Amino acid sequence: MSCFPCFSGGKGSKKDESGGSSDEDHKVTEEGKSAQIFTFRELATATENFQTESLLGEGGIGRVYKGCLETTKQSVAVKQLDRTGLQDNKEFLAEIVTLSRINHPNLVNLIGYCADGDQRLLVYEFMQLGSLEDHLLDLTPDQKPLPWHIRVRIANGAANGLEYLHEKANPPVIYGDLKSSNVLLDDEFTPKLSDFGLAKLGPGEDKNNASSRLTGTYGYGAPEYARTGELTLKSDVYSFGVLLLELITGRRAIDTSKPANEQNLVSWVQPMLKDQKKFPDLADPLLSGKYPIKELNQAIGTAAMCLQEEPMVRPMMSDVVMTLSFLSVTPFQESEPTPEPKPMPAPAPTPEPTQTPIPASP
């Protein structure tokens, strides 16, 4: 039975005479979850006709605009998908059902969508602080660097979101494009993974555990992706390792402004992962040493496990979540300097025993 009786004709939602969505067609529902249906007119109004001033960013699958819904005054992010190579209506709506089932504190919430004619738009909750990339990489002089405990919080949240997609969503979801620009932050720096326009359903138990329809981002892609062109759940784990390195080092995955041997973050880091004494050299200089050294070592060790060459050796995301849960999410407090030990007082000299003369024998 079709979940989309109102889309059986492949023309998008029915409209009332005013051009808005009818109440009957207002939502697509699957197992109690729902995504609101918007008309193109409603989203054009929300974004002021998709004007340049509303543009938040542009990626491989389309542009994202900030908008305000006229009826609720809610701020939203509207992703207008590129019309080139778009999925057909049935496939697109099936993806919407998948997205509407996904609900986790560390995943950006899908509010609704538009499928008017050849238009394909997704409406997400708006994240006030933008992306992790905006707050971590290439900071301007007036920007303060993220402190260690905020970086830990972001790593924890991103790992939890990815764990949900891999191990709790049914069927599992391959993210496919994890990177700092796709990790969005709310006003308390709580991270949420975004851009599920690229995420496709992962395999069930009877399917090959891979997808060749996904495209990752250079610098975050696992070695096997370069060889086979396929992304798997373990490819996501590798990408998380790269993201964790960015949080630790404050460097981009690929930075052509660096010296040739430092342009690829993973290649630059790999030799130092074998010597724990060099781990402090990997810490972002903007942290100014304000981090617990044991936590730095543990975070780098976790990244190293995620970046293993062989996919099967990489940990599951639940293992990563467990490891990161031991790191502190409270502000770093430098320990009080250890007082110099007071010198022990010199022992008093022991007096030499006086000898009692032995009387001579008569």
The catalytic residue positions are: 177
Cis peptide preceding 331, ω within 30 of 0: no
Do 282 and 269 contact (CB within 8 A), yes or no? yes
Contact 297, 279 (CB under 8 A): yes
Contact in structure between 244 and 296 (CB atoms under 8 Å): no
Chain Cα centroid distance, residue 341: 46
Residue 75's beta-bridge partner residues?
Answer: 68
Q: Which phi and psi angles does 119 have, rounded to 5°?
A: -80, 140
* C-beta separation of 306 from 248 below 8 A: no
Give start and end residues of each alpha helix (H) in 256-346.
265-269, 293-306, 317-324
Q: 180 near 133, Cβ under 8 Å?
A: yes
Instruction: State the Cα torsion 136-55-14-125 to the nearest 10°.
Output: 30
Phi first, then psi: what are they for 120, rounded to 5°? -135, 110
Q: Is there a contact between 21 and 69 (Cβ–Cβ < 8 Å)?
A: no
Q: How far apart are CA 308 and CA 314, in angstroms?
A: 6
Question: How many Cα atoms sit within 13 Å of 195 on the Cβ side?
Answer: 25
Q: Which residues are CB-neighbours of 93 under 8 A, at least 6 positions away?
A: 3, 4, 7, 28, 115
The span from the CA of 7 to the CA of 89, in Å, is: 8
Give the amino acid at 259. Answer: P
Residue 279 contacts residue 299 (beta carbons within 8 Å): no
What is the Cα–Cα distance from 28 to 1, expressed in whole angstroms? 14
